[in-house]
Structures are given as C-alpha cells and as structure tokens.
C-alpha cells in the first residue's frame, strides 16, 4: 500500500532494474563497440569507402542521433504521464514494472546512436567522429535514465491519477 509520502516506497527498487538494463545497453555495449573501433583504428585502420561523402554521412548520422534523443525524451514524458498503476494495493510493483517496461525500448533507441557511430566508423574509418556519436549516446542516457527526483515526481503524478480514479487498464 502506498501513502501520499513517497518515503514508504523503495525508490531504489523501482530504479534498479531499468538502470541495470540501461547500464548494459547504453554504457557497456557502446564502450565495447568503441574499444573495438579503437583497436581496429590503431591496428591497421579502415579505408574510407565513401570518400568525400563521409562528411555528409556524419551529418546524416548526427541528425538521426538528435532525432533519437528528442524521441527518447518525448516518449518517456508521454509514457510517464499515463496511468501506470493497476490498483492502490499493487502501487509499488506496478510502478516498478511500468518504469522498466517504458525504459527498455527508450534505452534501445538511445543505444542505436552508438550503433550509428560504429557503422560510421566501419564505412569511413574515421574514429574521431565515431567517438563523438558514441559519447553523445552516453550523454542522452544520462539525461533519460531514471533518477530519484524523477521517480519521486512520477510517484506523486501516479498518486494524483489514482485520486482521480485513473488506473492502468
């Protein structure tokens, strides 16, 4: 059972599973991709297979990365504003499951930014721009990942929705 004071809820439990998934998806895997690109770049490098189009291709990937970041922020906000709790009695469990279910696809969208960096490297052999794209994915993850303050606001929002009789169906 929940109360109007969110101190009874274990915010760490609500945050832990999405955060672990995000750490693997948005930190460990992109770091592995970056290390692989670094190794290839230092061993023998790759040839630029697109020539002068590499600059335009970088801007295309950068635009896609920004679009992914905006989409991730928009989707998170949209989803967290909907009722996420089925019953008052299952408030904490429902909220934790909903935060995880909402976060997973968002984190995958963010991880695609790092994948774009890797693809860019494999096509152009340019490591510096690859680092920029992968680092940008880290930054987006830092903005989007669940935090205590965000979860506290989410709890209050969900309690307000419950008080209005709005539950997840």
Find where tokens 């490591």 sit.
Answer: 127
d(C-alpha 2, C-alpha 56), whole Å: 53
CB atoms within 10 A of CB 16: 14
Annotate 67-89 with DSSP letters as a single string: HHHHHHHHHHHHHHTS---S-ST
d(C-alpha 143, C-alpha 151), whole Å: 14
- Give the per-residue pLDDT at 162: 93
- Which residues have C-beta within 8 Å of that of residue 73, sequence separation ≥ 6? 143, 144
Tokens representing 86 are 């089925």
d(C-alpha 69, C-alpha 123), whole Å: 23
- For 35-62, how does the pLDDT look when each residue is reduced to its tens digit (9 = 90+)? 999 999 999 889 999 999 999 999 999 9
- Give the per-residue pLDDT at 45: 87
- Give the per-residue pLDDT at 140: 97
- Give the per-residue pLDDT at 169: 86
The pTM of this model reads: 0.89
- Give the per-residue pLDDT at 134: 97
| Residue stretches of the chain with pLDDT short of 70 | 1-8
């Amino acid at each position: 059972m929940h109360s109007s004071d969110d101190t009874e809820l274990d915010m760490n439990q609500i945050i832990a599973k999405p955060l672990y998934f995000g750490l693997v998806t948005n930190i460990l895997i992109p770091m592995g991709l970056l290390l692989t690109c670094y190794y290839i770049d230092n061993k023998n490098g790759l040839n630029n297979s697109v020539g002068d189009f590499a600059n335009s291709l970088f801007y295309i990937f950068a635009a896609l990365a920004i679009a992914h970041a905006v989409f991730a922020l928009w989707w998170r906000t949209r989803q967290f504003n909907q009722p996420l709790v089925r019953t008052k009695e299952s408030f904490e469990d429902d909220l934790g499951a909903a935060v995880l279910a909402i976060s997973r696809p968002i984190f995958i969208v963010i991880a695609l930014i790092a994948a774009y960096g890797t693809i860019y490297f494999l096509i152009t052999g340019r490591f510096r721009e690859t680092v920029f794209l992968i680092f940008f994915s880290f930054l987006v993850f830092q903005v989007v990942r669940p935090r205590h303050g965000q979860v506290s606001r989410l709890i209050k929002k969900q309690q307000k929705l419950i008080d209005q009789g709005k539950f997840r169906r």
